[in-house]
Structure 1
Amino acid sequence: MLHRWFRDTYRSLEALTTGLGLAADTLDVTGSGGEPEPSVHTSPSNIGCGLWSTVAAAGLGVISGTAMRRALARTVAAVERLERHHGFWLNWYDARTGGVLTEWPGTGAPVRPFLSSVDNAWLVAALRIAADADPELRPRVGRLLADADWSFYYTPYDPDDPAVGPGQLRGGYHLDDGTYTPHWYGALNTEPRMAGYLGIADGSLPGEHYWHTFRTLPPGAGQEQEPEGEWSTVDGVRVWRGHYTYRGRKTVPSWGGSMFEALMVPLFVPEGQWSPRSWGLNHRRHVAGQIEHGLREEAYGYWGFSPATVPSGGYSEYGVDALGMQTEGYTSKGVVTPHASFLAMPFAPGPAVANLLRIDRDFGAYADGYGFRDSVDVRTGRVSDHVLALDQGMVAAALAQVLRPGLLQRPFRTGGFARRVEPLLRREDFGIA
């Protein structure tokens, strides 16, 4: 059954992929005339999802090695043609032509040219996976990544004014006026930590960046819950080892309380193996908290909450508010997102599979040939008409991790990750054991 789920999910990603080799953002699985319709736009994250899903498909025997190499080479060739600045890719392109989007398809709204740190992290990670899977691509990928210097997004730590110099990564950079976003990615247990890991691994970021991100905000800082914990000094950095308690479990929260913030990164970086009593334990507790919220606290009968399409149209963040630092965090709103259950599968396979089977049985959420649709409002029964490349990419990576553990993790277990990232995670102590 899991292999069938993977095959159909990969088929949806193939349907999303244009002749140029770029995975579009969204696929309407209903379409006009019954034919699925991909969106015009794509992002670095979407493109990355197409790359690593192709490697996973070959590793699981869904496509041949020859087909994998052909598909990877086509996408890498397209990525080589995309406009870049400061070594990084812009946030939105036309998936059919590779041109930079200046107007939003359908509305004509202007699109500001933007370099996102987190979106670039997922494309860089995927390019590393592609180069690992096909040695012939390594020189080309090496040239692409040679200028991807993560210090471009980094603000060094200033002990005299940590509010201005926090030792963290900016959200991104606006090309039109040459300004950075006013915010930094300060929470550790969120998906932007992938950018931090990549920069530490390649030496463009100092290792102390890891310790300057927040397990929770310090006491009195204004957050979802007043944290417990203690101050500690690690590698010369004073760190607040804070945690929350949710339904009796000590947990390091994410920013908004969603599943993909906490559990997308460990699909690639073996955090739980390198830090079993901190990251490994926290991953499992985040899953347990999501299950408790869906089945007991809200009594929906289903669980799994993460940003996704709104079943009736549009896009929204979903999560468990108490598992996030943000005071106005993501709430579940009765909308379950199947990709969240797949993210949980490496940590709680039985409950994840059972939850997905219930969602399909009760709402018809599985689209034969394309996998699970993106979201379900369990209060109304409304099921989204769409799948998203990002969410399908997470599904594919999670199934690969369950069916062939470590398949997509190989590039993140050696080199700078082994020399610089692993030692940091081995010194991590969330104080939740």
Structure 2
Amino acid sequence: MNRRSFLTAAATTAAAVTTATPLTAQAAPASRSDSERRLLREWFTATHRSMEAMTTELGLAADKIDVSGSGTPVPSAQTSPTNIGCGLWSTVAAAGLGVISGTTMRHRLDRALSAVERLERAHGFWFNWYDAHDGSLLTTWPETGDPIRPFLSSVDNAWLVTGLRIAAHADPSLRPRVAALLADADWSYYYTPYDPADPVAGPGQLRGGFWPDKPGKGEPTGHHYGALNTEPRMASYLGIADGSLPTDHYWHLLRTLLPGAGQEQQPQGAYADIDGVRVWEGHYTYRGRDLVPTWGGSMFEALMVTLFVPEAEWSPHSWGITHQRYVRSQIEHGLQEAGYGYWGFSPASIPEGGYREYGVDAIGMQEDGYNSLGVVTPHANFLALPQAPTEALANLRGIARAFDAYDDRYGFRDSVDVTTGRVSDYVLALDQGMITAALAQRLQPGLLQAPFRTGGFTSRVRPLLRKERFSI
């Protein structure tokens, strides 16, 4: 799309957001009027329609579709474990909200699960890229022909396991098949046990993943996922809940890097002894607001996990507060610090083509972290609905109106450069999947959270979150 007239709408939206009701400590949902519910259902229906358009005959959600033309979009050749997980929970959400029938849901879940059962795996986990149309393992990138070295990602597998657990809960007839799939998915595969004599080599954290084409476990990534407030904590929660990871793994994750380490700002805080672990309960300060940073400063790092694990409910004075302040920081960056007139920064399509990370650099630990660059993405606003419903809805309405970034066929486009008016031609399964889950949570709280409120999540994860005492 070309540049559009948006400055007047930007000023109007900024004024509406700036004067909105302040957040409360508990971030209680605003009363949902009939008109708001109708709007949210319309948005859900259109977004779910995009997920249907991304789903191949095999039953797997592809990575993306181009929605810029007038014809039926063609799903991309590739898919990932995360994309597949998004497709599963979007189907369950659609049935829960009455957009599709229970019979249709069961048919689609069965078809998708049959495809997942056919996918090549190693060490109990799924590879990063498959052909979405025939399920074959990709060794060359479809769009360029560049070689792909098959990789087992901890965070991507977490989102597929999340989707499988939601599917099994929604359709009990699938539970034996899902249990069989997950029987070999042991999260200790990614885990490096804590070594007090050498915490650098033995940090008690998860590897980013492995290339399994080497003997033994394979070749590991050179990094661990050390930051707590990032999306890989879903893998940590899953492993702690099923007993394949020790509970003290949670305390070895970093609220910030230690003082003196190279990071975005020098943290404040204090050490605390929790469950026999000496924990640095550090925080950053942004615009006078103390919070626990993410790695890059993006919205989905902080809030994607909360779509499924009720962190703010189980830890209202720690996780609940930092989530609230994180959203407020994103709002103030977009409206006041950068003066864009819009907010919501998270990894997304580059409007001109490609993909990159966007965020608020000051609330990420990485020294050369993610920058906003004037690019906002709707999924970031949907993630913020629990903390800032009035502001999020105003921002989304403004984006839709000013940039023609929404249509009732496939929902919101993936991203908008508000400095040029350029809108992405694409929608992505990951980002649309976050939108469907966020809308489901807003319209029917708990719809997708049920599998994460029982068993090990209740007995192992919840007590950890109750003990959390962020220094904020």
TM-score (norm 2): 0.91
* Counterparts of 2:135 and 2:417, CA distance in 1: 35
Counterpart AA for 1:278: S
What are the superposed Cα offsets for residues 167-219 of structure 1, whole Å, 9 maximum, x if unpaired? 00000000233200000000000000000000000000000000000000110
* Counterparts of 1:122 and 1:25, CA distance in 2: 14
Matching residue of 1:72: 109
Matching residue of 2:44: 6
Q: How many residues align?
A: 431
> Aligned to 1:117, which of 148, 154, 161?
154
* Counterparts of 1:179 and 1:326, CA distance in 2: 25
* Counterparts of 1:161 and 1:300, CA distance in 2: 46
Matched, 1:212 2:252: yes
> Aligned to 1:333, which of 373, 377, 387?
373
Matching residue of 2:123: 86
Residue ranges of structure 1 left out of the alignment (5+ in a row) = none
Deviation of residue 325 (structure 1)? 0.4
Secondary structure of the equivalent of 1:24?
Answer: coil
Secondary structure of the equivalent of 2:206?
Answer: strand
Comparing 360-369 with 291-300, greater Cα deviation is found at 360-369
* Counterparts of 2:168 and 2:71, CA distance in 1: 37
What are the superposed Cα offsets for residues 305-345 of structure 1, whole Å, 9 maximum, x if unpaired? 00000000000000000110000000000000110000001
Matched, 1:95 2:132: yes
> Aligned to 2:361, which of 299, 321, 341?
321
Matching residue of 1:189: 229
* Counterparts of 1:330 and 1:70, CA distance in 2: 41
Deviation of residue 35 (structure 1)? 2.5
Deviation of residue 407 (structure 1)? 0.5
Counterpart AA for 1:80: E
What are the superposed Cα offsets for residues 122-181 of structure 1, whole Å, 9 maximum, x if unpaired? 000110000000000000000000000000000000001111000000000002332000
Secondary structure of the equivalent of 1:276?
Answer: coil
* Counterparts of 2:144 and 2:338, CA distance in 1: 37
Matching residue of 2:349: 309
* Counterparts of 1:281 and 1:78, CA distance in 2: 41
Secondary structure of the equivalent of 2:440?
Answer: helix
Higher relative contact order (CA 8 A, sep 6+): 2
* Counterparts of 1:290 and 1:34, CA distance in 2: 36
Q: Give the ranges of 4+ consecutive aligned residues of structure 1 lying more than 3 Å apart after TM superposition.
A: none
* Counterparts of 1:405 and 1:35, CA distance in 2: 33
> Aligned to 1:352, which of 366, 371, 392?
392
Secondary structure of the equivalent of 1:391?
Answer: helix
Deviation of residue 111 (structure 1)? 0.6
* Counterparts of 2:469 and 2:254, CA distance in 1: 13
Counterpart AA for 1:200: I
* Counterparts of 1:105 and 1:367, CA distance in 2: 28
Matched, 1:225 2:265: yes
What are the superposed Cα offsets for residues 76-127 of structure 1, whole Å, 9 maximum, x if unpaired? 1100000010000000000000000011002110011100000000000110
* Counterparts of 2:459 and 2:400, CA distance in 1: 44
Matching residue of 1:51: 88
Matching residue of 1:299: 339
Matching residue of 1:18: 56
* Counterparts of 1:195 and 1:106, CA distance in 2: 30
What are the superposed Cα offsets for residues 261-306 of structure 1, whole Å, 9 maximum, x if unpaired? 0000000000001000000111111100000000000000000000
Deviation of residue 368 (structure 1)? 2.3
Secondary structure of the equivalent of 1:430?
Answer: coil
Secondary structure of the equivalent of 2:423?
Answer: coil
Matching residue of 2:299: 259
Deviation of residue 228 (structure 1)? 0.5
Residue ranges of structure 2 left out of the alignment (5+ in a row) = 1-38
What are the superposed Cα offsets for residues 228-251 of structure 1, whole Å, 9 maximum, x if unpaired? 000111000010000001011100
- The within-5 A match list for 1:398-417 is 398-417=438-457
* Counterparts of 1:191 and 1:209, CA distance in 2: 16
Deviation of residue 367 (structure 1)? 2.6
> Aligned to 1:129, which of 155, 158, 166?
166
TM-score (norm 1): 0.99
Counterpart AA for 2:315: S
Secondary structure of the equivalent of 2:68?
Answer: strand
* Counterparts of 2:67 and 2:162, CA distance in 1: 28
